[in-house]
């Protein structure tokens, strides 16, 4: 192509893509998009012009030892690769690159290695860990996994709601209803219960006064209140670490609003010095973030009594401004990503705009990855209050399903397997569509064993794994894979060709859905191949070649699942 089109080969790489496998018909392996290599903008070219150009180009190209067939399609030139070469090259590459298959592709050769800070999960101490926090946790974990796989340096930050008036109330509640042993053994649950109880008395003047006093002392760093607050925080984090571990999630840093109290005062002073802070009649501090500077859009950064607003994240950017500036100073990152639900989009838009107004041009490299709301996730005991409720529920439902299916073999650790399969179900249901869309959660749909579910992915992985176990673990050196000519084998090979493009798409828009639909298709194709290409009873040469194919499919399936935050199971 480079000779005929007189273009350097590296310019062509992005214009050539692997052809998605079709159930209905046999397809070529690669296609060149004509629009992307013709001069001028593609909208100038009419469809028939492009088709004509494709035909002309196809006529000028000749088949060789690599390409066995060239044809023109609608605006594309299609290439079919010599079948033996296809099988040999793809399988060699998958086995050689192992967990780095797809990541080493030339698609990523021009992407600079960067340092990314990702803030996700971020629950509030003593409050419900709602489904939005769960979404933030699994989405943030996926983005971090993907970036690490692509060779970037990632700092995972959990930014806790660990400050504010509610801690005054919580402390008063703890003095009345608290129990030191319960705080140690199950802090999240105990603090939540205390908070619910004291909230019933929150309107009582005496309670209000005590809460205010406690919080004032806390702000003045009075030793006793500080030590109680620290216990609330430390025990909660310890328990979170244990639960996150069940999810396969970890953090490099547990930060929180409490870290930035003094710094947020400094930010207010900077805003004042730069002439960005305006006072309303009531004395509230605001920053004008409108285009025309007509206050049509503004952000409130300070209460009328001069304290920065850290009641809730929705309201107060000054703490977030301080956190962003501090992280830049500490980590000098290339990109910072906040993963929260879409109701906070406005907050982050304002945040990034104020940073820009303050003269921080790195605000351009901040990004808010937002997601929609999930309706209807309930456990058998009622609504979800703790993350652990969800994990226990998914495990018990999966155990029940496993017990009732006839194909379940005796497995070593049914509890752990049930948890891993159940989590896969949860994650796939969440990641199938665009992150921004809301969806209705359904346990039954998520935990189906057939169809496009996480259970089906795990089942496929376990099945391919046991096939390998049964037929020879000996590492074969000189397998002749040239005999893999059946349509179902070719489909798997063609699909494996596309893995790098799918990773590339997800790395561009940070959406897991591309990888999810790729893995579901891979599992369906592997199931068809498993049916039509028996290993047992075939000649040794054929058996070895087919095993090699299934091994490659399992390897890529496992890689993709791990990126999504799923631990592949080997028995089910």
Query: Do the strands 115-119 and 76-81 form a parallel or antiparallel pair, or are they unpaired?
Result: unpaired
Q: Give the per-residue pLDDT at 312.
A: 42
Q: What is the pLDDT of residues 403-421, one digit of tens each?
A: 887 665 678 889 999 999 9
pLDDT attached to residue 311: 39
Rounded to whole angstroms, the Cα distance separating 300 from 226 reads 28
Confidence of residue 191 (pLDDT cuts 50, 70, 90): very high
| Mean pLDDT, rounded, of the chain | 91
What is the tens place of the pLDDT at every residue in 43-77? Answer: 556 777 889 999 999 999 999 999 999 999 999 99
Residue with tokens 């029940």: 400
Alpha-carbon dihedral sign for residues 251, 257, 263, 268: positive
The string of DSSP letters for 357-397 reads HTT-GGGGGEEEEEE--EE--EETTEE--SHHHHHHHHHHH
Instruction: Over range 419-442, report the average pLDDT.
Output: 95
Using left for φ > 0, alpha for ψ between -120 and 50, and beta otherwise, residue 383 falls in: beta
Length of the chain: 572
What average pLDDT score do residues 205-229 get? Answer: 92
Pseudo-torsion of CA 187, 189, 191, 194, nearest 10°? Answer: -140
473/471 Cα distance (integer angstroms): 7
pLDDT of residue 217: 93
Selected from 3.30.70.1150, 1.10.730.10, 1.10.287.1080, 1.20.1600.10, the CATH number assigned to the domain covering 394-564 reads: 1.10.730.10
Could you tell me the end-to-end alpha-carbon distance of the chain, in angstroms, rounded to an integer? Answer: 48
Say which CATH architecture domain 2-81 belongs to: 2-Layer Sandwich (3.30)
Ordered by start, the domain boundaries in the chain are 2-81, 394-564
CA distance to 100, 375, 502, 507, 547, per residue, from 521 (Å): 20, 27, 12, 20, 19
- Position 314 scores a pLDDT of 44
Share of the chain above pLDDT 70, in %: 95
pLDDT of residue 378: 84
pLDDT of residue 408: 59
Query: How much is the pLDDT for 310?
Result: 44
Largest CA distance in the chain: 89
Q: How far is CA 169 from the centre of its chain?
A: 35
Going by the DSSP 8-state scheme, the letter that residue 249 receives in this structure is: -
CB 566 within 8 A of CB 427: yes
Spacing of C-alpha 463 from chain mean position: 26
Residue 152 scores a pLDDT above 90: yes
Taking each helix axis as running N to C, give the angle between helix 513-532 and helix 487-497, from 0 to 180 degrees, rounded to the nearest 10: 160
For 56, half-sphere exposure in the C-beta direction (CA atoms, 13 angstrom radius) is: 10
Q: What angle do CA 427, 431, 437 make, to 5 degrees?
A: 130
Lowest mean pLDDT among 126-135, 539-548, 554-563: 126-135
Question: For the chain, what percent of residues have pLDDT higher than 90?
Answer: 71
pLDDT band at 500 (very low <50, low <70, confident <90, very high): very high
Residues 6+ apart with CB under 8 A from 381: 389
Predicted confidence band of residue 476 (pLDDT cuts 50, 70, 90): low
Q: Do domains 2-81 and 394-564 have the same CATH topology?
A: no
| Residue 572 pLDDT level (bands cut at 50, 70, 90) | confident
What is the pLDDT at residue 473?
Answer: 60
Confidence tier at 279 by pLDDT (50, 70, 90): confident
pTM of the model: 0.93
Q: Catalytic positions, please? A: 127, 130, 133
Q: What is the DSSP letter of 134?
A: H
Taking residues 440-445, report their average pLDDT. Answer: 90
What is the pLDDT averaged over residues 249-275? 92
Give residue-wise pLDDT tens across range 89-145.
999 999 999 999 999 998 998 899 999 999 999 998 988 888 889 999 999 999 999
| Over residues 288-300, mean pLDDT | 87
Structure-block tokens of residue 103: 């990541």
Q: Which helix (H) or strand (E) holds 52?
A: helix 47-60
The CA angle 237-243-246, to the nearest 5 degrees, is 145
Q: 436 or 376, which is more confident?
A: 436
Q: Mean of the pLDDT values across residues 381-389? A: 83
The yes-or-no verdict on residue 309 having pLDDT over 80 is: no
């Amino acid at each position: 192509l480079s000779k005929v089109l007189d273009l350097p080969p590296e310019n062509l790489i992005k214009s050539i893509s692997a052809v998605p496998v079709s159930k209905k018909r046999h397809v070529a392996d690669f296609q060149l998009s004509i629009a992307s290599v013709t001069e001028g903008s593609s909208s100038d070219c009419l469809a028939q012009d492009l088709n004509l150009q494709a035909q002309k180009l196809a006529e000028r190209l000749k088949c060789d030892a690599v390409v066995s067939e060239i044809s023109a399609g609608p605006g594309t030139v299609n290439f079919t690769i010599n079948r033996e070469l296809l099988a040999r090259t793809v399988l060699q590459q998958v086995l050689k690159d192992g967990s780095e298959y797809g990541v080493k592709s030339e698609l990523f050769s021009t992407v600079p290695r960067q340092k990314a800070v990702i803030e996700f999960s971020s629950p509030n101490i003593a409050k419900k860990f709602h489904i939005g926090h769960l979404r933030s946790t699994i989405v943030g974990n996926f983005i971090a996994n993907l970036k690490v796989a692509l060779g970037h340096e990632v700092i995972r930050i959990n930014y806790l709601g660990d400050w504010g008036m509610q801690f005054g109330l919580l402390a008063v509640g703890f003095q009345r209803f608290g129990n030191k042993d319960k705080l140690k053994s199950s802090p999240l649950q105990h603090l939540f219960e205390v908070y619910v109880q004291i909230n019933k008395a929150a309107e009582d003047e005496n309670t209000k006064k005590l809460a205010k006093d406690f919080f004032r002392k806390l702000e003045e760093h009075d030793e006793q209140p500080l030590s109680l607050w620290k216990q609330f925080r430390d025990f909660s984090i310890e328990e979170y670490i244990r639960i996150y571990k069940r999810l396969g999630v970890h953090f490099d840093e547990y930060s929180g609003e409490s870290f930035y109290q003094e710094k947020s005062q400094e930010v207010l002073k900077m805003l004042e010095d730069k002439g960005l802070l305006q006072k309303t009649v009531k004395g509230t501090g605001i920053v004008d973030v409108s285009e025309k500077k007509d206050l049509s859009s503004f952000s409130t950064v300070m209460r009328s009594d001069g304290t920065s607003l850290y009641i809730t994240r929705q309201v107060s950017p000054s703490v977030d401004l301080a956190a962003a500036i501090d992280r830049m100073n500490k980590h000098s990152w290339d990109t910072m990503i906040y993963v929260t639900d879409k109701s906070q989009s406005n907050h982050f838009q304002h945040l990034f705009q104020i940073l820009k107004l303050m003269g921080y041009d790195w605000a351009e490299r901040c990004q808010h990855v937002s997601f929609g709301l999930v309706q209807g996730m309930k456990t058998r005991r009622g609504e979800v209050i703790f993350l652990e409720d969800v994990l226990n529920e998914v495990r018990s439902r999966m155990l029940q399903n496993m017990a009732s299916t006839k194909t379940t073999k005796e497995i070593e650790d049914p509890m752990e397997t049930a948890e891993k399969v159940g989590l896969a179900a949860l994650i796939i249901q969440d990641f199938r569509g665009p992150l921004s869309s809301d969806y209705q959660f359904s346990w039954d749909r998520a935990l189906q064993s057939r169809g496009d579910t996480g259970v089906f992915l795990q089942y496929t992985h376990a099945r391919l794994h046991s096939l390998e176990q049964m037929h020879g673990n000996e590492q074969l050196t000189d397998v002749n894979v040239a005999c893999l000519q059946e349509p179902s084998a070719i489909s798997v090979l063609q699909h494996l060709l596309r893995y790098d493009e799918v990773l590339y798409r997800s790395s561009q828009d940070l959406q897991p859905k591309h990888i999810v639909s790729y893995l579901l298709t891979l599992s369906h194709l592997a199931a068809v191949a498993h049916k039509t290409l028996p290993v047992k009873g075939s000649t040794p040469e054929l058996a070895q070649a087919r095993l090699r194919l299934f091994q490659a499919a399992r390897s890529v399936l496992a890689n993709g699942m791990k990126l999504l935050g799923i631990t592949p199971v080997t028995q089910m």
